[in-house]
Structure 1
């Protein structure tokens, strides 16, 4: 039940999304602390959210960045101009209110390659766009297991003024716990405990997930070896039946050849006469 770090800069990040854990500053909560977390937990337990069910999402998730905290004055053109410094942009979607058309303050930027996306991920975080400090993260909607969006009580980050902070992401990581860790309760809820002894520094940048590469050599080793079929040993009866068949064939061939030679000799002798 021991707690975590003596270092205030020791942090860790979430690899999968657990609503109760996301509502906790040190990742050790075992009950929802507000109604939004409770709502997100219900959505997660009942499987009410499908991250692949949004028809608007057509980009490659491994090439796409989430850009948040945008100024409401930032439009597609100004955002493209800034983000284009980090690589070739394939598509850009600034999310707008479905009724008013006003900017919701966040966007998704897809690059032509994963390398360009990673460059923007490293360099564009906390940069200024229209005098607003933005946050940049990978597209967690499809790459983070268990993801629940903000509108359903989930999400990550947030502002203190909203009263719905969510931890475990790049902008607000979990802090190493100072209180005892309830290992048994976390295990019962299926929530991984803090990685004791493997915390990161607050100043380290967590790496976004990489696309898995299929190794043909590994695939060939993973396949079960083909069984070699040895020839069936013939029985004595089969060999006995085969032997007279061969001898008969050789006799027939010998007889036909002798008849052929005798006929040839008779024809030759008749010509001499």
Structure 2
């Protein structure tokens, strides 16, 4: 690992692994609670398909996850009050339990990826209905290896229960305080901590970006405008050159 300059830094996981997520510094090689063990079994046996949920709809790159919502918050009350989530969304999905009560989290899809990133940066830790919310990207579809909380994974958990998960925006990995057992991690198929990708606690980790071949419609129209303007300017120069050649 790097020198002591990283001891006050944090780092974030790009890929999910249940055993790693259960470790404060991402260096554990064995599950330390039954939930992590259950999530590891689901991961190893391929029992969970993040794209198999019929309730998941919309563009993952334009969607944010909103957690720690008040159980009294509804879609109607949310739309009526100004907040950092902005008003440009096109779909809001409240997650409701089988009893009809709110699960305390939801997904918001925006018209463009730019609006999603704006909400991702501005809305985190804002107050809605007297609850301090957290905002994250859609890890279910965009984070490889993802296992949800109901199967022992996720990135949540309460300190009182002892089942904390690390590596996400709200609770990132701490810099390892002991040598990283790379050989053991490799042998067990656990990805090593992202060495060399440390960040300050005050920096905002960026959500995954769409591949360059698939561009935001808003950005595509802007690029088309610039390209058309460039072509028009080039044709005008060519015409002027042709006229001067005729002279």
Question: 2:62 aligns to what?
Answer: 63
Question: 2:44 aligns to what?
Answer: 45
SS in 2 for 1:109: strand
How far apart are 1:27 and its partner, in Å?
0.2
CA change 1:191–1:3 in 2 (3 A) is farther
How far apart are 1:85 and its partner, in Å?
5.1
Task: Report Cα offsets for 1:198-255 as digits up to 9, x if no partner.
Answer: 311111110001110228xxxxxxxxxxxxxxxxxxxxxxxxxxxxxxxxxxxxxxxx
Q: Which runs of 5+ in 1 are unaligned?
A: 216-273
How far apart are 1:195 and its partner, in Å?
3.6
Find out whether 1:103 has 2:102 as its counterpart.
yes
CA change 1:169–1:208 in 2 (3 A) is same
Find out whether 1:145 has 2:144 as its counterpart.
yes
TM score, norm. by length of structure 2: 0.81
Answer yes or no: is the 8 Å Cα contact 2:6–2:198 preserved in 1. no
Q: Which runs of 5+ in 2 are unaligned?
A: 215-247
Question: 1:13 aligns to what?
Answer: 12
Question: What aligned pairs does 1:216-235 form with structure 2 within 5 A after superposition?
Answer: none
CA change 1:93–1:117 in 2 (3 A) is same
RMSD: 1.8
Answer yes or no: is the 8 Å Cα contact 1:4–1:196 preserved in 2. no
Q: How many pairs are equivalent?
A: 213
CA change 1:85–1:155 in 2 (3 A) is closer
How far apart are 1:8 and its partner, in Å?
4.4
Question: 1:173 aligns to what?
Answer: 172
SS in 1 for 2:37: helix
CA–CA separation in structure 2 for the residues paired with 1:5 and 1:23: 24
CA change 1:59–1:4 in 2 (3 A) is farther
Task: Report Cα offsets for 1:69-101 as digits up to 9, x if no partner.
Answer: 111111112233445752411110111111x21
SS in 2 for 1:33: coil
Question: What aligned pairs does 1:75-114 form with structure 2 within 5 A after superposition?
Answer: 75-80=74-79, 81-82=81-82, 86-98=86-98, 100-114=99-113
SS in 2 for 1:95: strand
Q: Which has the higher contact order (CA 8 A, sep 6+)?
A: 2
SS in 2 for 1:74: coil
> Which of the two has greater helix per residue?
1
How far apart are 1:59 and its partner, in Å?
1.3
TM score, norm. by length of structure 1: 0.74
Answer yes or no: is the 8 Å Cα contact 1:4–1:179 preserved in 2. no
Question: 1:271 aligns to what?
Answer: none
SS in 2 for 1:62: helix
